[in-house]
Chains A and B, each alone.
Chain A
Amino acid sequence: METSQQLTDKARELQARIAPQIEEARKNLSDLNTRITTYIRQNPGTSLLAALAAGFLIGKIATRRW
C-alpha cells in the first residue's frame, strides 16, 4: 500500500517537473512553425527555389556511387 503511494507520489512529482518543460517545448515548436510558415508565405519564390535545390542535391547524392 505504501509502495503504491510512493509510486504515485513519484509519478506526480515527475509530472510536475516535466510538464512545464513539455509545455515550453510545445510553445517553442509552435513559434518555430509560425515563423517558418510566415517566411514561406512572404518569400514563396525563394523558398521553392531553395527546396528545389535541396531536392536536387539530395537526388545527386543519392545516385552517387561511394
Chain B
Amino acid sequence: MPETTHNSQSKGTGNGADHRGIGERVEHINQSAQELWSEAQGAVTQLKETLDIQGRVERHPYGMILAAVGVGYVLGGGLFSSLTGGLLRLGFRVAALPFVKQELLSLAKGALQNARGGTDAGQAPAAAAAAPAEPPKAV
C-alpha cells in the first residue's frame, strides 16, 4: 500500500522517480536473493563438512553401507517386526557366548579334576565327577 501513496505523491515530479524507486527495489530484492542463495550454499557446505560422508565412506566403506541399510530398514518400518526380534535375540546370544563359554570351560575343568581325583582315590568319586558334568547339559 505505501507504493500507491508514493505514486500519488510523486505524480507531480514525473516518472523518473518511480522508475528509480522500482529499480532500487528490484536491486534490493536481487541482492537479498543473492545473499539468501550464498547463505544456503554456505549452510549446505557446512552440513557437508560436518557430516563428512565422503570421508566416512572412504574410511569405513562397509560400516557406512551397513548403516545405510539400517536406516533404510527403520524407514521401511521393519523396526517392530519379528525379524528385528529374532536378530536381537541372535545378537544377545552371540554377545553372551564368551561368558557362557568361560562358564562351560570352568565347569569342564572342574569335572575333569574331579574325575582325576576320583581315579586316584578310588571308585567313590566317580559319582561326584558325574554331578558337575550335568550343568553344561542344562545350558
A residues whose Cβ falls under 8 Å from a Cβ of B: 36-37, 40-41, 44, 47-49, 51-63
Contacts and interface: CB of A to CB of B under 8 A. Distances in A.
Given A37-B61, A40-B57, A41-B61, A56 B81 contact: no
A13 to B, nearest CB: 34
Q: How large is the interface on B (under 10, 10 to 19, 20 to 34, 35 or more residues)?
A: 20 to 34
A52 B61 contact: no
15 contacts: A44-B58, A47-B61, A52-B72, A54-B72, A55-B70, A55-B72, A55-B74, A58-B72, A58-B83, A59-B72, A59-B78, A59-B79, A59-B81, A60-B76, A62-B78
Given A41-B58, A44-B57, A48-B53, A62 B81 contact: yes
A55 B81 CA distance: 14
Contacts of B66: 51
Contact of B82 (A40, A41, A54, A62): A62
B57 A56 contact: no
Contacts, number: 86
A29 B73 CA distance: 27
A52 B57 contact: no
B94 interface: no
Contact of B81 (A37, A40, A49, A63): A63
Contacts of A58: 69, 72-73, 76, 78, 83
A36 B65 CA distance: 11
B84 A52 contact: no
